[in-house]
Structure 1
Amino acid sequence: MTESLVHPNFKLNGKAVSGDGLWEVAHRFIKEGQAYQESVGRFLLDWLSASAKIHVNTSGSTGKPKKIELLKNHMRNSALATGAFFNLKSGDTCLLCLSCDYIAGKMMLVRAMLLGLDVYIAEPTATPLQHIGYPQTFRFCAMVPLQVQASLDALERIETLIIGGASVSNALKKELLPKKTRCFETYGMTETITHVAIRELSEASRNPFRALPNVHFSLDDRECLVIDAPKIASNKIVTNDQVALVSDTEFLWLGRFDNVINSGGVKLFPEAIEEKLSTYLQDACIVAGIEDERLGQKLVLVMESDSTQKIDLDLFKEIKTLAPYERPKEIYYLPTFIRTKNGKIQREFTLQKAINNQ
């Protein structure tokens, strides 16, 4: 059983490790390692166990975190699909710098074990590349946007980078385009065992997400994405993501159904507006709707900033990409947004805290 779960060429931090040797590594990480290594050790034991299932915690970015079951066979299929998409070969190096408490970190290990990669494990800080000495470079790595932003000066050490966990802002995208690193934004969730669709960051303003092999898309009656991926999920997955379907394997992401704002009868997608604003605003921001007698919901902007340098509302009239109804009517300031452990902004809590701080 262990042999089928671990490629014979698998390496950990540059050293060959057999399937049986992984048991020893896992126990050592749990007994002697730091917190992030303990997390790696616990997952290794889960992966090597006789159980056909893995229990995984969701991130909690869109609601209360919950524990779900995933089939190891589905995780295997997901890893193989990623390997095929990016042409990962046995012996390639990869960097694990995400927490193994969540699916993204777990799947980096699974890809390495199944494909025979040499995985280097770094503490999942904002600047993980600082923990891996030069001249080590990596064929493949996954990061969240906060890590990418803080690692811009060292990205040349990574050949292919996938970015997930939160949207890539226009400002970050502009900084990534001149880099030699090929950067891809991913779409997925815990239930889909990380990404099921990928788009390469390019000069194109809004290129669509493209499905991985054996994944197809449709819409429900809310115009939300439905994912049909029989190799990684037993049933179709109905999401709360509103999209514009380009084909059954491509879509443009518009925003979360539960975030949509109805202002004066006009449907507003906060994420799309935030993408436009990110070109002009340096600080992180979200837009949201608050109750308004005339409009039903009024569009407001929340800035991750103190209020010492306030923004004039007239600025939004100068942003040509913003339609009149997409211009915020009020601005709130909050020094620090409320985020999940993997960096996703918790919108509802952040908005409420910003309002209470005024």
Structure 2
Amino acid sequence: MDFSQIHSSFKLNGIRFNSKADLIEYVKTSFSSTHDFFVNWFNDEDYLIVQTSGSTGKPKPIKLLKEQMINSALATGAFFEIKENTTALLCMSVDYIAGKMMLVRAMVLGWDLDIFNAVSNPLSLTDKNYHFSAMVPLQLEKSLDQIERIDKLIVGGGVVSESLKSKILKVKTEIFATYGMTETITHIAVKKLNQLKERPSFYKVLPNVKIYIDQRNCLMINAPLVANEIVLTNDVVQLVSENEFEWLGRYDNVINSGGIKLHPEKIEHKLSKLIQNRFFTVGIKDERLGEKLVLVIENNATEINSEEVIKRINEFPEIKKYEVPKEIYFVKSFIETETKKVQRRKTMDLVLNTSKK
């Protein structure tokens, strides 16, 4: 991309630049990852090498065309009706696609973008108001007391819990969950989380995106403006319409317990109304059932009584008999990727290895 293609209104931390050299020099000392991004963006290649987050497997580098990244930025701008001179906050790591795309959107759409480190409460670092930003659920949780300083917010990189959803229902900020991945250059679908006119709310795809399901009921994505091939996912969904879907969970997380297929994410959706700590459910080997459902709770103290938790779960009318965890494990802290996504299997392996000692 030539510097002349950058929108004339683009500013970074309130500064307008006359050349790519000025821009690269500005970020060189303060923002090393951002510096690397701009150096690669303005080179002669028509692609960037981007690292996947590693939430469902080993992180890997993939090649993304710059033209398709620009297409993604334009689609986001059109969908959310955010145009030039938008004030935006970048508070996610630029090492991964979500942070990189905030930079691309700013350049292409002509935003005034402020960059801050990817801390848990980014709004504590500034007293400014913003039209648009992107956060992970943890950042939203930690920023609730100031979140109305942002007009529109997209949330990705993890599931927004029922507890957090209840806290944002009436805030003035328009908040959307996003669905996407590195291979689709961030989101190809969004779901409104608050100020809902109708319930339930489903993921709605962006323009020029078509969706299907395979024989596993996993989502297939045809988005020619951002991906050259149909993207096959391991996300189990239910199609609501030709452009809407409900996300049910990961196919690779499905637990086959005594012949019954359990979707951990659906069970967690129910349990989140009972459990305040971070937690997840997972299947472990069982001689009788093949796999059994267990509950893992993040807790660095001992104030939670496992018998009391099981009792409350059994008494909760939304939980079916086979959705009650057979065991509860506690761990001081979950293993996470660099983008703060919980690594279920690695955490469970840690728990089991620790319990054997």
Given the two structures, how large is their TM-score scaled by the length of structure 1?
Answer: 0.95
**Higher alpha-carbon deviation: 119-128 or 4-13:** 4-13
Out of 261, 270, 280, which is 1:276 matched to?
Answer: 270
* 1:27 Cα deviation from its structure 2 partner: 3.3
Secondary structure at 1:225's aligned position in 2? Answer: strand
Secondary structure at the residue paired with 1:301? strand
Contact 1:122-1:129 within 8 A present in 2 as well: no
Contact 2:3 / 2:42 at 8 angstroms: preserved in 1? no
Q: What SS is found at the alignment partner of 2:145?
A: helix
Tell me which of 245, 258, 261 is aligned to 2:239.
245
Q: CA deviation at 1:123?
A: 0.9
Deviations 1:203-258 (A, max 9, x none): 66642100000001001111110000000000000001010111221110011010
Using the TM superposition, give the Cα deviation of residue 13 of structure 1 relative to its aligned residue in structure 2, in angstroms.
1.1
Cα shift at 1:319:
1.6
Q: Are positions 1:197 and 2:189 aligned together?
A: yes
Aligned equivalent of 1:42: 36
CA contact (8 A) 1:255 1:271 kept: yes
- Which position in structure 1 is the counterpart of 2:327? 330
CA distance in 1, matches of 2:211, 2:251: 17
The 8 Å contact of residues 186 and 198 in structure 1, kept in 2 or not, is answered as yes
Identity in percent: 49
1:352 aligned to 333, 349, 353, which one? 349
* 1:149-206 deviations in Å (ceiling 9; x for gaps): 1111110110000000001000111111121111000000000000000000036664
Matching of residue 288 in structure 1 with residue 286 in structure 2 = no
Does the 8 Å contact 2:155/2:176 carry over to 1? yes
How far does the alpha carbon of each residue in 1:52-80 deviate from its partner, in whole angstroms, 9 at most, with x for none? 10100000000000000000010010000
Runs of 4+ in 1 over 3 A off after TM superposition: 202-206
Tell which deviates more after alignment, 207-216 or 308-317. 308-317
Q: Is the 8 A contact 1:215 1:229 kept in 2?
A: yes
> Do the aligned partners of residues 295 and 4 (structure 1) sit closer, same or farther apart at CA in structure 2, a change above 3 Å counting?
farther
Aligned residue pairs total 350
Mapped to 2, the partners of 1:329 and 1:183 lie a distance apart of 36
* Stretches of structure 2 lacking an aligned partner (at least 5 in a row): none
Q: Is the 8 A contact 1:111 1:117 kept in 2?
A: yes
Give the equivalent residue in structure 2 for 1:12. 12
Shift of 1:5: 3.6
**1:165 matched residue in structure 2:** 157
Contact 2:274-2:313 at 8 Å conserved across structures: no
* Shift in Å, 1:293: 1.7
Q: Which residue of 1 aligns with 2:84?
A: 90
**How do 1:1-358 residues align onto structure 2 when only pairs under 5 Å count?**
1-18=1-18, 20=19, 22-30=20-28, 32-33=29-30, 37-132=31-126, 134=127, 136-202=128-194, 206-306=200-300, 307-311=302-306, 312=308, 313-358=310-355
Structure-1 separation of matches of 2:199 and 2:303? 33
Paired residue secondary structure (1:246) = strand
AA of the residue aligned to 2:156: G
Q: Which amino acid aligns with 2:273?
A: T
**Alpha-carbon deviations, 1:92-141, whole Å to 9, x = none?**
10000001100000000100100001001111111111122x2x111000
Counterpart secondary structure, 1:213: coil
Q: Structure 1 counterpart of 2:339, which letter?
A: N
Q: How far has the Cα of 1:91 moved from its partner?
A: 0.6
RMSD: 1.3
Partner Cα distance (1:130, 1:86) in 2: 25
SS of corresponding position for 1:315: helix
Moved more, 304-313 or 265-274: 304-313
1:5/1:48 contact within 8 Å kept = no
Partner AA of 2:344 in structure 1: R
Separation (CA, whole Å) in 2 of partners of 1:101 and 1:149: 22
Note the alpha carbon deviations across 1:26-72, whole angstroms, 9 max, x for none.
23433x22xxx100111011112221101000000000000000000
Separation in 1 of the partners of 2:258 and 2:67? 48
Amino acid at match of 2:184: T
Amino acid at match of 2:133: C
What letter corresponds to residue 334 of structure 1 in structure 2? V
- What is the distance in 2 between the residues matched to 1:4 and 1:25? 13
Deviation at 1:25, TM superposition (A): 2.9
Q: What amino acid does structure 2 have at the position aligned with 1:24?
A: D
Q: Secondary structure at the match of 1:279?
A: coil
- Contact 1:23–1:45 (CA under 8 A) maintained in structure 2: no
Q: Please tell me the residue identity of whatever aligns with 1:15.
A: I
Q: Is the 2:161–2:272 contact (alpha carbons within 8 Å) kept by the matching residues of 1?
A: yes
Distance of 1:48 and 1:88 partners within structure 2? 25
What SS is found at the alignment partner of 1:152? coil
- Residue 314 of structure 1 deviates from its aligned partner by 1.4
